[in-house]
A and B are shown apart, each in its own frame.
Chain A
């Protein structure tokens, strides 16, 4: 199908880092089953570096591909770098997403941030709360969608 780039189809067909980390240091879940997408990201963290990452996703092809690409982009990276990952970077790494699917890359960015926030919260690590606004439904679904 020409709806998606070959890169998206590759990550959709053969998603990297699928699964669960039972003893994860941080877990983030964003999205809503009612809207048709949920992403859950598990992080293993040592010395502020993401040593392992896994995901599970309920959603369309681009949601699965975005989760897969996002986990690839943060694996082995320091937390500071993972926090800089933008949805645009995820979409670009996938050679682009159709306009009405951009929210899938937003979800991937939010899932990573949620997992890091969860790591800080569960490990008593202080952080600037204003850097972690609650992901809202409005962010998941840009209003200009048709």
Chain B
């Protein structure tokens, strides 16, 4: 294998050199505990607060509105649990979400359902969008929370977050958005969007893994998620991961400052790949083309299965992902593709390519050569494709 083409940036990204460099001194030199009164601790404290201020600047809010977490999953759990408990205290036990949220959201909601909450899962249509009108229609006097993802992690569709926030504000309902895939990739300004809570995760924008943040607007009650010390203003106990917070701040600064340029480059690459792969007969693009994350391509190819597609692409040095059952570790293909209304047999044949600014047009060329070859080969050994070609089975796409 000469060169590895990494096209799975929605799963995680490589840390940037600048973020890694910023983090290093915290492993050995600036090791203090920010809660300590002595100089060593206070230096760490100062750097932690600088990182908080920087993240706040990147998102357009105040430093005190940023709570560091262990990542996107924790931020989602904390936001939803907190709003649910606050709602329950007022007798409100209804939550609105979408059918295609990340499992960090969906599994938290499933647990709340067991605890007596009622959850409305808004359909996302065949292109993968919800509307503010749908949210408006679903709101009840008992609604405690609306949680809608900013952009979907599999199909990349960007939701009308500002419009949904407005509907929620008018109805007096707390609004949380999982912006893990959006932050650093499309402009996100929490004040302009008007959201109450927002989750982000550093490893999706070239920061370290295991660190993220929850934005919680001043005035929105936030419950303590991890009991213990008074860190994060008493809302999340545990000695802070100062170096990771600093590196996240650096990565976010870079992502935001390079956003316009990177997005323009990625959109060009994305569209070239989508157009090229759509030339494969009986293929389809999953998710709408408008309002789509700049680096996201998600396709289905009829008559083949996603895991074997990924393995063969891996043999050719291309790292991608799929929503097939075999790769999800369950019996069903991805809930996101099913939410778009795809039949199971089509959803099994999905491929997600997600790019970062370090991908090149040569990578795109290699992908445009490799994917059609692999699809054609797998079809040549597939009884399903044989049936489709011979008319014994109806084409679904």
Contact = CB atoms under 8 A, between A and B. Distances in A.
Interface of A: 1, 9, 12-13, 15, 18, 20, 29, 33-40, 56-61, 63-64, 100-101, 141, 145-146
A40 B311 contact: no
Given A33-B345, A34-B345, A61 B386 contact: no
**Which of A13, A39, A60: most chain B CB closer than 10 A?**
A60
Interface residues of B, number: 26
A57 B378 CA distance: 9
Given A29-B383, A60-B324, A36 B308 contact: no
A34 B308 contact: no
Given A1-B311, A59-B305, A36 B381 contact: no
A-B pairs with lowest CB-CB distance, top 6: A60-B307, A33-B345, A60-B326, A40-B383, A34-B344, A58-B384
Interface string B200-226: 000000000000000000000000000
B331 interface: yes
B304 A58 contact: yes
Contacts of B383: 29, 38-40, 56-58
Contacts of A64: 308, 381
6 contacts: A9-B311, A12-B311, A36-B324, A36-B348, A56-B383, A58-B304
Contacts of A9: 311
A35 B329 contact: no
A36 B325 contact: yes
Nearest to A41: B383
Interface of B: 303-308, 311, 314-315, 324-326, 329-331, 333, 343-345, 348, 381-386
Which of A1, A35, A39 has the most chain B CB within a 10 Å cutoff? A35
A37 B311 contact: no
B381 A60 contact: no
Contacts of A141: 331
Contacts of B324: 36, 60
Contacts of A146: 329-330
B343 to A, nearest CB: 8
Nearest to B322: A60
Contacts of B382: 38, 56-58
Contacts of A100: 329
A36 B333 contact: yes
Contacts of B331: 35, 141, 145
Given A1-B314, A36-B326, A59 B386 contact: no
A60 B329 contact: no
